[in-house]
């Protein structure tokens, strides 16, 4: 349960990481093995209180702080695979997801992590628990997983389509495909279907085979047990108003060209490009946040920010003044934050109706900020490349500020 619940909150490019200039001194070991800074690229964060939080990232690393990020304790996850997201419902129960469909659960605040069975081998990019029992995870190949028993069993709710509606690349079977006459399994669930296998399916007279949608789902957000949203590649937003029993898919259009985004004049309009079959798809979406069943935001490639006021059916783009990829967003009261590539930070002091770039130091512009975590107080944390952790808040004398945690 992220702070969005408590407070009434493709990454194909990031998996490889980037070369980053060191922003702080070398890691030093303090008392009892504590670190002044996490030692790897960070992809996920969750803060239960202004001081207590967890971050996850490369090599299966999990780090825990009880002093607002001034020092960190490493917690053993028993994997060296990338962990992409983490979520807690209370001081004891938390979940982390990552590469190859891995899901880990802790019931003791991260002192120990136990693997759960997801039954998928695709990367998972986000996890969101509504309470100690109900949770969701999303990832590659349209993967959507649901549990109602704390992760002891994960049910597949992934996006699928008819085999005849597949894309250009080899699709992946959604379930086992069996010959109706012999009962022979022609293709197992998750298996890539080559032209030869597809021909065999057709020859067997199978006309109801379904395949996974070839789409990366990057983030999932449940405001409560009923209202949830998922975002992914090519402007895709998927929404539910019945707790995931049914889903409605919406695709955002391409955003209008932002004034001053570059110095080049467009040679062709979108209509002309579409006529030639050369129109690029809508930007991929990486992060989302809702403050009510009606009002929410999504962020993504090319500095895209879009807001909805009808639960996600219709969207209005907001100016960002940036062309950098934006990865995560959070809004609390009048204050909002967005983080992204090349140290991009945008803030709002108008409850997300307007956004302005916050210029950080030159040393931050070589870094990406992947995730933010809102706390019950008036501050949030941003995490990203090379163990970077920043904190932000609002005060009467400083307005909205952003700084390294060690400068608090």
Q: How far is Cα 142 from Cα 233, in angstroms, rounded to an integer? A: 10
Residue 67 lies in a domain: no
The gap between the terminal CA atoms of the chain, to the nearest Å, is 26
* Structure confidence at residue 267 as a pLDDT band (50, 70, 90): low
Asked if pLDDT for residue 22 goes beyond 60, the answer is: no
* Nearest of 114, 156, 152 to residue 133 by alpha carbon: 152
* Structure confidence at residue 258 as a pLDDT band (50, 70, 90): low
Output b/e per residue, 278-305; b: 16+ Cβ within 10 A.
eeeebbbbbbbbbbeeebbbbbbbbbbb
Task: Please tell me which residue, 32 or 230, carries the higher pLDDT value.
Answer: 230
Give residues with Cβ within 8 angstroms of 120, minimum separation 6: 101, 139, 143, 145, 156, 190
Task: Give the residues across from 305 on adjacent strands.
Answer: 299
Asked if pLDDT for residue 255 goes beyond 90, the answer is: no
**Domain holding 205: CATH number?**
3.90.105
Residue 202 lies in a domain: yes
Residue 370 lies in a domain: no
Asked if pLDDT for residue 10 goes beyond 60, the answer is: no
Task: Write down the mean pLDDT value for the chain.
Answer: 87
What pTM value is reported for the model?
Answer: 0.87
Hey, is 7 helix, strand or coil? Answer: coil
Mean pLDDT along residues 156-163: 93
Element (H, E) at 288: strand 285-290
Residue 180 lies in a domain: yes
Task: Please tell me which residue, 67 or 11, carries the higher pLDDT value.
Answer: 67
Check: CB of residue 51 under 8 Å from CB of residue 67: yes
Q: What is the DSSP letter of 130?
A: S
Q: Give the tens place of pLDDT for each residue, 318-352.
A: 999 999 999 999 999 999 999 999 999 999 999 99
Question: E strands along 92-190, which residues?
Answer: 94-98, 103-106, 114-116, 124-129, 135-139, 144-147, 155-156, 160-162, 177-178, 185-187
Asked if pLDDT for residue 401 goes beyond 90, the answer is: no
Hey, is 375 helix, strand or coil? Answer: coil
Residue 369 lies in a domain: no
* Structure confidence at residue 14 as a pLDDT band (50, 70, 90): very low
Give residues with Cβ within 8 angstroms of 106, minimum separation 6: 92, 93, 94, 95, 112, 113, 114
Task: Please tell me which residue, 105 or 378, carries the higher pLDDT value.
Answer: 105
- Output the six-digit token pair for 354: 């307007």
Mean pLDDT along residues 227-248: 97
- Structural domain containing residue 206: 160-213
Lowest mean pLDDT among 9-13, 30-34, 118-122, 140-144: 9-13
Check: CB of residue 224 under 8 Å from CB of residue 209: no
* Structure confidence at residue 119 as a pLDDT band (50, 70, 90): very high
> What is the pLDDT, as a whole number, of residue 148?
98
> What is the pLDDT, as a whole number, of residue 278?
59
Residue 405 lies in a domain: no
Share of the chain above pLDDT 70, in %: 85
Lowest mean pLDDT among 248-252, 295-299, 395-399: 395-399
Q: How far is CA 43 from CA 279, 315, 320, 328, 384, in A?
A: 31, 27, 23, 11, 6
> What is the pLDDT, as a whole number, of residue 61?
97
Q: How far is CA 271 from CA 98, 251, 277, in A?
A: 39, 18, 10
Q: How far is Cα 95 from Cα 114, in angstroms, rounded to an integer? A: 9
> What is the pLDDT, as a whole number, of residue 45?
98
> What is the pLDDT, as a whole number, of residue 402?
84
Give residues with Cβ within 8 angstroms of 161, minimum separation 6: 210, 211, 213
Q: How far is Cα 407 from Cα 377, in angstroms, rounded to an integer? A: 18
Residue 194 lies in a domain: yes
Q: How many domains does the chain have?
A: 1
Mean pLDDT along residues 104-117: 98
388: left (phi over 0), alpha (psi -120 to 50) or beta: beta
Residue 177 lies in a domain: yes
């Amino acid at each position: 349960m992220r702070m969005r619940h408590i407070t009434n909150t493709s990454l194909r490019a990031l998996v490889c990481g980037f070369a980053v200039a060191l922003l702080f001194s070398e890691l030093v070991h303090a008392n009892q093995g504590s670190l002044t800074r996490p030692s790897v690229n960070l992809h996920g964060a969750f803060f239960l209180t202004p001081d207590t939080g967890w971050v996850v990232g490369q090599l299966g690393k999990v780090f825990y702080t009880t002093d607002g990020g001034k020092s960190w304790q490493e917690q053993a996850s028993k994997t060296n695979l990338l962990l992409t997201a983490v979520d807690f419902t209370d001081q004891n129960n938390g979940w982390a997801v990552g590469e190859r469909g891995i899901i880990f659960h802790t019931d003791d605040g991260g002192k120990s992590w136990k693997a759960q069975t997801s039954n998928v081998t695709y990367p998972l990019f986000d996890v969101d628990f509504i309470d100690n029992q109900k949770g969701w995870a999303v990832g590659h190949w349209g993967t959507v997983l649901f549990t109602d028993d704390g992760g002891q069993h994960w049910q597949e709710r992934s996006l699928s389509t008819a085999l005849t509606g597949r894309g250009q690349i080899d699709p992946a079977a959604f379930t086992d495909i069996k010959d109706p006459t012999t009962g022979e399994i022609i293709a197992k669930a998750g298996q890539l279907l080559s032209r030869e296998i597809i021909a065999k399916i057709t020859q067997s007279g199978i006309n109801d085979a379904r395949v996974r949608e070839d789409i990366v789902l990057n983030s999932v957000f449940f405001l409560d047990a009923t209202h949830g949203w998922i975002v992914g590649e090519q402007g895709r937003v998927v929404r539910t108003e019945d707790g995931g029993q049914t889903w409605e898919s919406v695709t955002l259009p391409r955003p209008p060209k932002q004034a001053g985004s570059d110095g080049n004049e467009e040679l062709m309009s979108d209509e002309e490009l579409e006529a030639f079959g050369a129109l690029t798809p809508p930007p991929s979406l990486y992060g989302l946040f809702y403050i009510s069943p009606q009002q929410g935001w999504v962020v993504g490639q090319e500095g895209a920010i879009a807001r909805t006021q009808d639960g996600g059916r219709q969207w209005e783009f907001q100016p960002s003044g940036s062309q950098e990829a934006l990865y995560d967003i959070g809004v609390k009261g009048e204050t909002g934050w967005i983080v992204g590539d090349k140290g991009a930070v945008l803030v709002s002091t108008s409850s997300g109706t307007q956004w302005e770039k916050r210029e950080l130091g030159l040393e931050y512009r070589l870094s990406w900020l992947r995730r933010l975590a809102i706390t019950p107080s008036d501050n949030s944390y941003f995490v990203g490349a090379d163990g970077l952790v920043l904190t932000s808040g609002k005060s009467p004398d400083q307005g909205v500020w952003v700084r390294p945690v060690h400068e608090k």
